[in-house]
Amino acid sequence: MIGSYIFPGSSGGPPQTHTFPFLLSPYTPNMTLPHRVLNTLMTMGFYAVMQVIKWSSPFSKDNLRNYVPTEVLDVDVRDAARKSLLFMENNMDIMDYPKALYPNHIRVGGLTTRPASPLPQDLENFFSKSKNGVIVVSFGSTLRKSPKQFFERVVNIFKHFKQSVVMSYSENAEYGNVKTMSWLPQNDVLAHKNTVLFVSHCGKNGLNEGFYHAVPIVCMPFHGDQAGNGVKVKYLKIGDSINMLNSKDEDIIQTVQNVLNDKSFKANMNRLSAIYHDAKFTPRETAANALEHVLKFGGDHLRPVSSDFNFLAENMTDVWFIIFMFLCLFIYLFYRLVKCCCCCLCVKQKAVVKNKKE
């Protein structure tokens, strides 16, 4: 099971909303108490909303029975996840914050990363002739599907830089220092020695490739987990993030220029990338080794008992409720004892006063 985000408890792992930010939240692990509360509510709320959508949207089971086999629709995804023997998460400890994991849950972030292949000759010439370095710009399919005016805005922004710019777009053309290509070997151009910056919407795989090749990043997120990835980039000090849709061109230019000029971003990226490369196994080897182990021996010995817990049990709500009830009972009994003692003392005191009067 591979994904960038797995619902808490799916693999039996402990709840970590107090230290691990929710996928769509703007928080880092250094959360204040209000942030931890909001992060927990967002995590629980997202799961609740997904359940509502699951049963009430056009994609509910009843509406899909004419298109999808019944045996597929009747599978409860969350139940299937709980019964899974192995979880492979497309995240890495350095980039995606550390968290506690059981043996049945491994992180294999960077599956798409690899050493560079030689560039096509025309692209190699473009990079080699760029004396001030090259800025690689890639927004996935977002730019290709956007109105022409948006593309023109992006081109005009990057015309302000002395660096050459290569951009993924639907056509092969040149606009001054900006070169657009319908097909851009992103992994290979990021690995080129003349690449000085990666400007991206910060999709997961692109972010991992930039990290793998130690290229500072400027995130311009549009939707989904991209904004959260931008928060990670800023937190790790390997680049910056700015909302292109809500920002002025001048602010975007200044943000990009700051990352180009501040050498600390490159230094931090080099250090963290070196830590990543120092791992004994690559993500692919880690995934292959884990799969081979489970296929050979099964995975019951890796699976924690907590995988079978319900929501209350996995969050220790039942345990804390019992502790709370005992605490309330203790406070009540203590209160009754003190009240009884006070009443006895008052009665005794009244008796003493009455005897003195007589």
Q: Are residues 214 and 337 in the same domain?
A: no
DSSP string, 123-163: HHHHHHT-TT-EEEEE-TTHHHHS-HHHHHHHHHHHTTSSS
Which residue would you say has higher pLDDT here, 21 or 351?
21
Based on the domain organization, do 262 and 182 belong to the same domain? yes
User: Are residues 93 and 140 located together in one domain of the fold?
Assistant: no
Q: Do residue 236 and residue 327 come from a single domain?
A: no
Q: Is the pLDDT of residue 8 over 60?
A: no
pLDDT given at position 285 = 93
Domain that holds residue 77: 56-112+282-308
Q: What is the pLDDT of residue 97?
A: 87
Q: How confident is the model at residue 82 (pLDDT cuts 50, 70, 90)?
A: confident
Asked if residue 286 and residue 271 are part of one domain, the reply reads no
Closest CA to 23 of 11, 5, 36, 8: 5
Q: What is the spatial distance between Cα 18 and Cα 109, in angstroms, rounded to a whole number?
A: 23
Considering the domain architecture, whether residues 326 and 291 belong to the same structural domain is answered as: no
Question: Do 164 and 250 have their domain in common?
Answer: yes
CB 201 within 8 A of CB 218: no
* pLDDT tens, residue by residue, 226-235: 899 999 999 9
Q: Is 4 part of any domain? A: no
Domains in the chain: how many in total? 3
Residue ending a domain, choose from 260, 278, 296: 278
Tell me which of 228, 258, 278 is where a domain ends. 278
**Residue 151, domain member (yes or no):** yes
Mark whether 170 and 228 lie in a shared domain. Answer: yes
- Looking at the domain assignment, is residue 65 inside a domain? yes
Examine the domain organization and report whether 135 and 173 are in the same domain: yes
CA distance 79 to 95: 29
Give residue-wise pLDDT tens across range 242-267. Answer: 998 899 999 999 999 999 999 999 99
Average pLDDT value for residue range 41-53: 80
User: What is the percentage of the chain residues whose pLDDT exceeds 70?
Assistant: 87
Span 289-294, mean pLDDT? 94
Whether 39 is in a domain gets the answer: no
- Tell me, yes or no, whether 258 and 287 share the same domain: no
250 and 132 inside one domain: yes
Q: Which of 228, 257, 278 is the last residue before a domain boundary?
A: 278
Q: Is the pLDDT score of 223 beyond 70?
A: yes
Give the mean pLDDT of the chain. Answer: 86
Whether 43 has a pLDDT exceeding 90, the answer reads: no
